[in-house]
Every structure is written in structure tokens, then in C-alpha cells.
């Protein structure tokens, strides 16, 4: 039985229908008749060109456009010599679709996991000096609205000392109405006056400050920046986009785990300083409640949105209070007044401030 194939030689567009026949050694074939170049051609030079296993179209190595197409299933002695049609790509065809998908899925999960773990690792690799420079640059514009009174600074210092702040940390109060606080890289902590005015006792400020000091101790700010900006932070030169980074930190959405870490730090340091954690819990509860009433939204949303609040967090602070413990206020009444009046005379930062 003779088998005819559709054949293009890649030189002209004319279609020929020669007979395909095996040579004596069974590894080559010839194309006979209809003006086709007879060959012989090696089966090993054939390249599959079909898109499914139903199609048996083949090209020839080194001859672009050369084709033979079997119109029906080829005789078995030819069929066994033909290369298998590709389907998903060479490697996947070799391993099989489902096995490949399984292996690739595991690899993908690993890559994702490593990528998620990478920001803290990179953040820790950034030298302290660079981090401090970044922090100073980010605070840059805000520094103009920092409030300074001798009494106020003394009070701030006393509060920080009670919370056992580490070395190389700078705490500023900035005259802006935001109920917010932020820890920039390099130990640059900023408390906004709006937060201090909203607080009903120094212990509330102490709780928030301790939380921010926790972010500093864990280097969360740097990690958050690395997470958001990736390597462009290091390669692109951070000077050109410093305000962008500052705003990103101001609106940073830390993960639940990061927040819990900073809360843990805060609770521990409040405890060690013998400051009651209950006012901090109350502050959280109050902010959440005030937020529900419309009208205050613009002012309060900030702190809440950047520090996702759950009743669990509030309860954690409340639960950490030791019954019958002799807590002492974190600041004396005169110190507290000094802190509250710190920004009374300073120039207020414009609303909607962009750092």
C-alpha cells in the first residue's frame, strides 16, 4: 500500500503529493513522484509541527518551510519512526502534565514563601548608617513643624527614659492634627500633636509611644519600605523619592504579625516601667467608637486605618494589666501639661500635609 503525503519544499508554494517510502535501512525515507525532491531524508531530522496528536505535520531540520503532512494515519512501520508531537512544551511533555503541575506548584509556593520572607532579611542587611540617613531625610520636612519647648522636651525625655528607649532614637512632636504616630527608619519617631490632644492621660501616649518604639526595635519601617518598593529602594537611590517613602510609612499597613510584635513590645515595656496598660486599651476603644460616628472620620481614620484595630488587640492590652499592681502615672501632672502645651505656640502644619 502506498502512502501519499502533502509536501511543500519550502522554496515554492506549490503543493506536491509524493509517495513516502522507507529506505532499506528503515531509518530514512524518500519522496517519490509529483516533482518532489526524492531525498533520502532521515526520520531523526523530522520536527513535529502539528498542534495536536491528531495532526501529523512535520518539518525538516535546517529547511524552513519544508513540510510533509499525513492526511490519514500513516502505516505502522512509518508511524513508529515519526517523532512525537509536542504539546505543552518539551520539559512538561517529558514529565507529563499533572506531574509537572505538581512539581511547579511546589516550586511556586517555595518562591512565594522566600519572596515574602525576603523583606525582613534585606531590611536587616541595610547598614545602620544608611538607615539613619534615610530616616533623617524622611523626617526632613516635618522637622520644620516640630514643637520645642524646654519643659515639653524634658517631659518627652522622661517618658522615653521610663520606657527604656534604646540608643540613637529621636522622638519629636509635630504640630499636625492627625491622630497618628509613626516610626521612620533609623529610630526617628514622630508623635503628632493631634494624638496628644486626643489622649486623656499620659499613659495613653506612653502606650502609643511604646508601640512605635517596638516598631523601631524590630526595624519594621525599613521592612515595610523594602516590601513596598523592593530593590528599587536600594538601586534607584532613595533620595529622589524620599517624600514618597515618607508617605508610604505614614500610611503603612503592617501585617497583623508585625502589629502584634510591636504590641507585645509595648506591653512588655509598659509593664517594666510600671505604667498601666488599661488607658492604652481605652484609647483604642475610644478611637474605634469615635470613628463609627461620622464627621470625625477624616481625623481619626488615619490612626485606625494604619493600625488595624481589633477588639482582640484592645483586650490584649487590657488583659495584660496585673490586678492590684501599684501602677504609677507615666508623667507627673506638670510634665503632662508641658507635653500638651508643647505645640501651643508653634506654627501649625498645613492640613493635608504631604511630607
Partner 1 sequence: MTQQHERGAFEFTGSWREYAPIAFTNLLLTIVTLGIYNFWARTRTRQYLWSRTRFIDDRLEWTGTGGELMLGYVMVVLVFFLPLAAIQFVMGGLVMRGTPAAAGAAFLLAMLFYLAVLGLGGVAIFRALRYRLSRTYWHGIRGGSDDQGFRYGLSYLWRTMLGGIAFGLLVPWALVTLWNKRWNAMSFGPHRFVATASSDGLMGRYLLYYLLPIALVVLGVIAGVAAAATARNPAELTQGYQVGLFFFGFYLIFFVLLGLVSLYFYAAYFRQVIAGLSLGNLEFEFTARTGDWLKLMLGTFALVVCTLGIGSVFIAYRNWAFFVRHLRAYGTLDLDQFTQSTTRAPGQGEGLFDSLDMGAF
Q: What is the contact surface with partner 1 in residues (CB under 8 A)? A: 8-15, 49-51, 55, 57, 59, 64-67, 88-89, 92, 97, 100-101, 104-105, 107-108, 111-112, 235-237, 239-241
Between 60 and 300, name the residue whose CB sits nearer to partner 1: 60
Between 54 and 323, name the residue whose CB sits nearer to partner 1: 54
User: Are the C-beta atoms of residues 151 and 338 closer than 8 Å to each other?
Assistant: yes
Q: How far is the CB of 226 from partner 1 (least distance, A)?
A: 18
Between 15 and 256, name the residue whose CB sits nearer to partner 1: 15
Q: How far is the CB of 275 from partner 1 (least distance, A)?
A: 43
Between 97 and 319, name the residue whose CB sits nearer to partner 1: 97
Q: φ and ψ at 173, to 5 degrees?
A: -110, 125
Integer angstrom CA distances of residue 187 from 80, 281, 312? 72, 25, 28
Between 79 and 105, name the residue whose CB sits nearer to partner 1: 105
**Pick from 82, 19, 10: which is nearest to 53 by CA?**
82
Between 61 and 164, name the residue whose CB sits nearer to partner 1: 61
Q: How far is the CB of 306 from partner 1 (least distance, A)?
A: 27
HSE value, Cβ hemisphere, 13 Å, CA-based, for 223:
20
User: Are the C-beta atoms of residues 179 and 192 closer than 8 Å to each other?
Assistant: yes
Q: How far is the CB of 135 from partner 1 (least distance, A)?
A: 17
Please identify which residue in the block is written with the cell numbers 488583659: 319
User: Are the C-beta atoms of residues 49 and 59 closer than 8 Å to each other?
Assistant: yes
Q: How far is the CB of 196 from partner 1 (least distance, A)?
A: 34
HSE value, Cβ hemisphere, 13 Å, CA-based, for 92:
10
Integer angstrom CA distances of residue 186 from 66, 122, 164, 183, 245? 67, 15, 17, 9, 14
Q: How far is the CB of 29 from partner 1 (least distance, A)?
A: 18
Between 94 and 124, name the residue whose CB sits nearer to partner 1: 94
- Distance between CA atoms of residues 168 and 73, nearest Å: 80
- Distance between CA atoms of residues 68 and 15, nearest Å: 10
Q: How far is the CB of 101 from partner 1 (least distance, A)?
A: 5
**Pick from 275, 268, 282, 281: which is nearest to 329 by CA?**
275
Amino acid at each position: 500500500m502506498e502512502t501519499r503525503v502533502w509536501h511543500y519544499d519550502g522554496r515554492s508554494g506549490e503543493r506536491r503529493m509524493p509517495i513516502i517510502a522507507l529506505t532499506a535501512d528503515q531509518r530514512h525515507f524518500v519522496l517519490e513522484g509529483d516533482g518532489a525532491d526524492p531525498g533520502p531524508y532521515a526520520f531523526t531530522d523530522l520536527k513535529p509541527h502539528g498542534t495536536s496528536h491528531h495532526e501529523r505535520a512535520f518539518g525538516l531540520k535546517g529547511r524552513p518551510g519544508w513540510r510533509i503532512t499525513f492526511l490519514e494515519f500513516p502505516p505502522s512501520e512509518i508511524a513508529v519512526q515519526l517523532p512525537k508531537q509536542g504539546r505543552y512544551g518539551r520539559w512538561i511533555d517529558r514529565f507529563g502534565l499533572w506531574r509537572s503541575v505538581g512539581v511547579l506548584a511546589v516550586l511556586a509556593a517555595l518562591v512565594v514563601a522566600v519572596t515574602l520572607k525576603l523583606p525582613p532579611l534585606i531590611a536587616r542587611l541595610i547598614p545602620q548608617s544608611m538607615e539613619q540617613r534615610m530616616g533623617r531625610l524622611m523626617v526632613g520636612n516635618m522637622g520644620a513643624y516640630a514643637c520645642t519647648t524646654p519643659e515639653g522636651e524634658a517631659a518627652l525625655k522622661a517618658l522615653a527614659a521610663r520606657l527604656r528607649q534604646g540608643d540613637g532614637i529621636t522622638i519629636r512632636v509635630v504640630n499636625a492634627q492627625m491622630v497618628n504616630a509613626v516610626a521612620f527608619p533609623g529610630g526617628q519617631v514622630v508623635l503628632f500633636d493631634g494624638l496628644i490632644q486626643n489622649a486623656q492621660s499620659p499613659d495613653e501616649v506612653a502606650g502609643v509611644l511604646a508601640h512605635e518604639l517596638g516598631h523601631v526595635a524590630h526595624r519594621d519601617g525599613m521592612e515595610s519600605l523594602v516590601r513596598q518598593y523592593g530593590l528599587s529602594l536600594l538601586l534607584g537611590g532613595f533620595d529622589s523619592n524620599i517624600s514618597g517613602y515618607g508617605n508610604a510609612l505614614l500610611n503603612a499597613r503592617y501585617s497583623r504579625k508585625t502589629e502584634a510584635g510591636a504590641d507585645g513590645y509595648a506591653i512588655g515595656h509598659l509593664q517594666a516601667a510600671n505604667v498601666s496598660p488599661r488607658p492604652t486599651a481605652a484609647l483604642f476603644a475610644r478611637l474605634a467608637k469615635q470613628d463609627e460616628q461620622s464627621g470625625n472620620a477624616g481625623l481619626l481614620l488615619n490612626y485606625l486605618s494604619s493600625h488595624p484595630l481589633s477588639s482582640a488587640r484592645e483586650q490584649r492590652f487590657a488583659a495584660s494589666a496585673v490586678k492590684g499592681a501599684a501602677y504609677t502615672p507615666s508623667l507627673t501632672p506638670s510634665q503632662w501639661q508641658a507635653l500638651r502645651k508643647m505645640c501651643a505656640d508653634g506654627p501649625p502644619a498645613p492640613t493635608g500635609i504631604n511630607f
